[in-house]
Chains A and B, each alone.
Chain A
Amino acid sequence: MSWTQVAYRYDGSYAGFLTCVYEAYVNREAPIDFRPDACPLCSLYPERTVVTHQSHAKRVFRSFKEKFGGPGQNMVSRGFLTCLEDKELWLWRFIQLGYEQGPSVTKHLADPTVDRVRRAVQHLNNEAHLLTGFVRFSDVGGVLAGEITPKNRVLPLLRPHFCGRLSTERFVLYDHTHREALFAQPGRWAILPVDDFHLGPPSGEERAFREMWRAFYKTVSIEGRCNPKCRQTHMPKRYWGNMTEFQTDLPDGLLSPEK
């Protein structure tokens, strides 16, 4: 392809990325790099700022379904939520492949690009599945509040699970890595950027439930079968910081992770 090589600067949103794809095809440009607005680095390639255009983005999004089917569209959308390094570039290559090959692109599992994107999406899905179990809520005056520190942006994937399950509850789930929070109440929800989040001191009832859960966790393990390595394989340590069973309530109402 003899298209001009450029580096795109966009606002970091999914619609922004789709607008970049639109611009690339309209202007016959081959993106060599994608940078969010906030990124201070500059590129050696000619740089162009792409302004997000909702209807262009929608057009590109619709074309995914037409050209490479529902699973392909899903793969691109989920791929954008992953923590894959240079995810935009990999997705751009995947989209090009998709436009060339049609719906069979998702079946090309041995292709390096498809493989990279599939693995990243699998990582995202796995993390979201693990977190459906590892999230811990605290009852703060009738509202449930929880914190997570995931690698991928899992909130959009966790949302249907928790909204369906806790349909009568009001709850907040804060993502420390990406500084956004899921707010939900019966029948309504929103994922909004939130700069800072702290849990208040627990009430007496909350404290009692935490104590009981820790007691249960300790009791249910069989000493004769102790296998910490197995536990760590199933539940990597990076999740432990936000889990009640590994925290202790300090007298001043704060939480400290267990050493």
Chain B
Amino acid sequence: MELLDKLTILSDAAKYDAACTSSGMDRPGRPGTIGSTTAPGCCHSFSADGRCISLLKVLMTNVCVYDCQYCINRRSNDLPRATFTPEELCELTMGFYRRNYIEGLFLSSSVLVSPDYTTERMITVLRLLREKYRFGGYIHAKAIPGADPILTRQLGLLADRLSVNIELPSQRSLALLAPEKGKQAILAPMAQIRDGIAVSRQELRLSRRAPRFAPAGQSTQMIVGATPESDRHILSLTQSLYDKYKLKRVFYSAYMPVSHSPLLPAPDGFRPPLQREHRLYQADWLLRFYGFRAEELLDEVQPDLDPRLDPKCCWALRHLEFFPVEVNRADYEALLRVPGVGVTSAQRILTARRVGPLTFEGLKRLGVVLKRAQYFLTCSGHPMVGLRVREDGLLRHLLALEGPQEQSYGQQLSLFDPPAPPLRRAL
């Protein structure tokens, strides 16, 4: 089989993995090696679906012993199968990297023979890259659940970031759709990686020559929309992963119908919940950078994120007693809670107000989105001039900013609709 065909098959099999970041690690290039990494990461291209292409995202093989229902590479699926040899994969990575096509390698794999065997093959590839080809670029490797902890450790010493995918956000769904994977099999390597990173950080403080274990942290991914979990369930799980497992990122992937399994939504007419995924990412940012907690955003009364408005606006509308916030006096945490003020503009406000009081005109220059923020801010005690909105009109004003809405809530009455059933019979 030609290398081109292998690449096509194995990148096609890997594309449903959402993570493609090259961030979290600053390693300048060293003479004699090729490659460097930068902490903010770098996108090298964007595919037609609008997602960033940063790493060469491929599977080492798509031959799998498992039969997970949601996965395109499941054993029972009739697909062309291929496997890279370690040399092929290294040549490909180096060729792409030299031409500045990619920032590094994202190496995942289906389970060939056994988790141990698969991990050993991945280690061979990474060792060749780092030692023979002197590659100093970014490597994101998948830890295979069920592999020996010693092998996972070796993998982490060669890679920059490790990830273990949770895939389904609850134990019940996992038992139903991926019976060969257990919750424990997924969480055990996560805990091992967390501890490995903590120990490695400690050792690096004592000696800068200490081995670096997954220096860019670990991440995970969940599929959204394949199973009936609520947004509240997903966000609380995310929160506990950030708290307990010290993850760098949790990725959400809207379920794409790749299987006819009766346990999953039927592929005909199924639309991937892209809007829901978008709102989840917005909420995820609120958890990581804005000091929100999952339980603040959603509760039992409201278990799902509002598709019409972003989660921060929704929170603000439910907590009007928190507003208005005074721009010239409020602390950073309070500024971050204002819709229309982000991390960058909040920091700019802190800088700019040291040299003089800020006005609404000045705020506009700083990059604050006034069309949203104007309802929630005062400058030196004054609200925006000409702003007259009562509390009950606020939702309407904010909704109007989001642009034309889909007609999913409420319908216009028509004279020619079939008559509604008489009220008494309906009762």
Chain A positions within 8 Å of B, measured between CB atoms, are 104, 107-110, 112, 115, 129-130, 132-139, 144, 146, 161, 163-169, 186-187, 208-209, 211-213, 215-217, 219-231, 233-235, 243-245
Partner of B29, one of A164, A222, A245: A164
B30 an interface residue at 8 Å Cβ cutoff? yes
Q: Which residues of B contact A228 (CB under 8 A)?
A: 48, 50
Closest residue of chain A to B35 (Cβ to Cβ) is A165
When the two chains form their complex, are residues B48 and A226 in contact, meaning their CB atoms are under 8 A apart? yes
Q: Which 7 A-B pairs give the minimum distances between C-beta atoms? A: A230-B50, A110-B362, A221-B47, A164-B29, A227-B50, A225-B49, A109-B352
Contacts of A130 in B (CB 8 A): 43
Known: A217-B47, A219-B8. A167 touches B31 (CB 8 A): yes
B45 touches A222 (CB 8 A): no
Contact A109 B45 (CB under 8 A): no
A230–B11 Cα distance when bound, in Å, is: 22
- What distance in Å separates the Cβ of B420 from its nearest Cβ neighbour in chain A? 37
Asked if B99 and A234 sit within 8 Å, CB to CB, the answer is no
CB-CB under 8 A from B48, the residues of chain A are 221, 226-228, 231
CB neighbours (8 Å) of B351 from chain A are 107, 109
CA distance A234 to B348 in the complex (A): 24
Q: For the complex, what is the distance from the CA of A219 to the CA of B351, rounded to whole Å? A: 45
Pair B101/A213 contact, Cβ less than 8 Å: yes
Please, how many angstroms separate the alpha-carbon atoms of A215 and B322 in the complex? 53
Contact A110 B365 (CB under 8 A): yes
Interface residues of B in 8-44 (CB under 8 A from A): 8, 11-12, 14-16, 28-36, 38, 40, 42-44
CB of B411 within 8 Å of the partner chain: no
Contacts of B50 in A (CB 8 A): 225, 227-231, 233-234
Residues of B within 8 A of A234 (CB): 43, 46, 50, 52
Q: Which of B8, B38, B361 sits near A215, CB closer than 8 Å? A: B8
Q: B90-98, B157-165, B169-177: which lies at the A interface? A: B90-98
Q: List 20 A-B contacts (CB under 8 A).
A: A107-B354, A110-B352, A110-B356, A110-B366, A129-B42, A137-B100, A139-B99, A164-B29, A167-B31, A168-B31, A212-B4, A212-B96, A220-B11, A220-B12, A222-B49, A224-B272, A228-B48, A231-B46, A243-B45, A244-B101
Chain A contacts for B358, CB-based, 8 A:
110
A109 touches B365 (CB 8 A): yes
Assuming A167-B33, A220-B15, A224-B256, is B42 touching A132 (CB within 8 A)?
A: yes
Q: Which residue of B12, B28, B46 has the most chain A CB atoms within 10 A of its CB atom?
A: B46
Tell me the count of chain B residues lying within 8 A, CB to CB, of chain A. Answer: 62
Quick check: is B56 within 8 A (CB to CB) of the other chain? yes
B100 touches A216 (CB 8 A): no
Q: Are A134 and B45 in contact (CB under 8 A)?
A: yes
Partner of A225, one of B101, B256, B356: B256
A137 engages B98 (CB within 8 Å): yes
Contact (Cβ within 8 A) B96 A213? yes
B142 within 8 A of A: no
B44 and A166 contact, CB distance less than 8 A: no
CA distance A104 to B356 in the complex (A): 11
B56 adjacent to A216 (CB under 8 Å): yes
Q: Which of B36, B49, B348, B358 has the most CB of A within 10 A?
A: B49
Name the prevailing secondary structure of the A interface residues.
helix
Cβ contacts B260-277/A at 8 Å (1 or 0 each): 000000000000101000
Chain A residue nearest in CB terms to B16: A222
Tell me, in angstroms, the Cα distance from A110 to B365 when the chains sit together: 6
Q: Which residue in chain B gives the minimum CB-CB distance to A245?
A: B45
Contact of B43 among A104, A133, A144, A213 (CB under 8 A): A133
Q: Which residues of A contact B361 (CB under 8 A)?
A: 110
Residues on A with beta carbons closer than 8 Å to the beta carbon of B359: 110
Let me know if B103 and A133 touch, CB within 8 A.
Answer: yes
- From A173, which residue of chain B is reached at the shortest CB distance? B100
Whether A219 contacts B15 by the Cβ 8 Å rule is yes
The winner among A138, A161, A220 for most chain B CB atoms within 10 A is: A220
Does B355 belong to the interface (CB within 8 Å)? yes
- Among B36, B48, B103, B351, find the residue whose CB has the most chain A CB atoms closer than 10 A: B48
Interface assignment of B298: CB less than 8 Å from any CB of chain A: no
Contact A212 B44 (CB under 8 A): no
For residue B31, give the distance in angstroms from its CB to the closest CB of chain A: 5
Q: Which residue of A lies closest to B13 (CB)?
A: A219
Minimum CB–CB distance from B421 to chain A (whole Å) comes to: 38
Q: How far is the CA of A168 from the CA of B31 in the complex (A)?
A: 7
Q: Is the beta-carbon distance between A212 and B3 smaller than 8 angstroms?
A: yes
- Given A165-B137, A212-B96, 12 more A-B residue pairs with CB atoms under 8 Å apart are A107-B352, A109-B348, A110-B363, A163-B29, A165-B36, A166-B98, A211-B4, A216-B7, A216-B56, A222-B15, A224-B272, A231-B46
* Interfacial chain B residues near A245, Cβ < 8 Å: 45
Shortest distance from the beta carbon of B383 to any chain A beta carbon, whole Å: 18
Q: Is the CB of A220 within 8 A of B53?
A: yes
Partner among A112, A212, A225 whose Cβ is within 8 Å of the Cβ of B7: A212
Q: In the complex, A159 Cα to B294 Cα: how many Å?
A: 43
Q: Which chain B residues border A219 with CB–CB below 8 Å?
A: 7-8, 11-12, 15
Residues of B contacting A216 in the complex (Cβ-Cβ under 8 angstroms)? 7-8, 11, 56
Q: Are B33 and A134 in contact (CB under 8 A)?
A: no
Decide: A217 and B53 in contact? CB cutoff 8 A: yes
Looking at the assembled complex, report how far the CB atom of B99 sits from the nearest CB atom of chain A, in whole angstroms: 5
